[in-house]
Amino acid sequence: MKRPGNHLLCALLMALPLAGKAQAPAGKQWQFETKPVWTDEFNYSGLPDSTKWGYDIGGRGWGNNELEYYTSSIRNASVDNGVLSITARKEEKEGRHYTSARMITKYKGDFLYGRFEIRAKLPAGRGTWPAIWMLPTDREYGNWPRSGEIDIMEHVGYDPDNIHISAHTLAYYFKINTQKTATRIIDGATTAFHVYRLDWTPDYMQGYIDDQLVFEFKNEGKGYAVWPFDKRFHLLLNVAVGGDWGGQKGIDDAAFPAAMQVDYVRVYKMKDK
């Protein structure tokens, strides 16, 4: 999910001193443990496990002029038959005309490096904007985009089956058209489950869909403005409605309720070398 940043001119950005390592770290073929260090298999019913998930609540647009009100209601986030459903609905809430859920693992699942696997089926319909992504837990380098963002999967309903994987930093982000991103057409993204994966190491991050490499971003060794990804991050799962990107082609109210279904979330620890 894209976030508002400072409106920086490219020239000013290029003049910004970059703190941190003078050289990129030596490349390694990092490996990951085979047993998850954190997982939710959704093998229960009712509300999502409160020991693993919290919520962002509210309807303030979330920096993207989104139209939904995020709740912690079972109507918007529920588990049944082994699947989590995050459901956006056309209904009134606190002056907003839609509701949905934005689930977070902040302070319940915070990670520095690792392999992240999420098996999900995406909602269809113009105006839907589901995302599987990560934000910094502590924002040690400052507010967005200084402390970074990792988008494991984004999809907008008006452009069906086109999956986006991105990373945003102070040097590389969408407001100045420098973001690191890749796209892939995935047939049946809204009708079948697919596995979205991030491998995150000190040297690089790689994004995969169904074990096919789609995205790679290497640590250039130029400090936090390029690579703030040496601090802990947490996971977010949400379905936005409308917004600067998701609402570019309008909203089809007939598409609601619209749900992102998640079969599992698994996090594997990176092996030290």
Task: Report the catalytic residues.
Answer: 149, 154
Largest CA distance in the chain: 54
DSSP letter string, 129-186? EEEEEEEESS-TT-STTTT-EEEEEE--TTSTTEEEEEEE-SSS-GGGT--EEEEEE-
Identify the CA nearest to 163 among candidates 125, 116, 217, 122. 122
Geometric angle at alpha carbon 178, from 175 and 179, rounded to 5°: 85
SS3 243: helix
Tokens representing 124? 């269809």
d(Cα 90, Cα 258) in Å, to the nearest integer? 9
Contact 172, 157 (CB under 8 A): no
With 0-12 / 13-18 / 19 or more C-beta atoms within 10 angstroms meaning exposed / middle / buried, residue 27 is exposed
d(Cα 238, Cα 3) in Å, to the nearest integer? 14
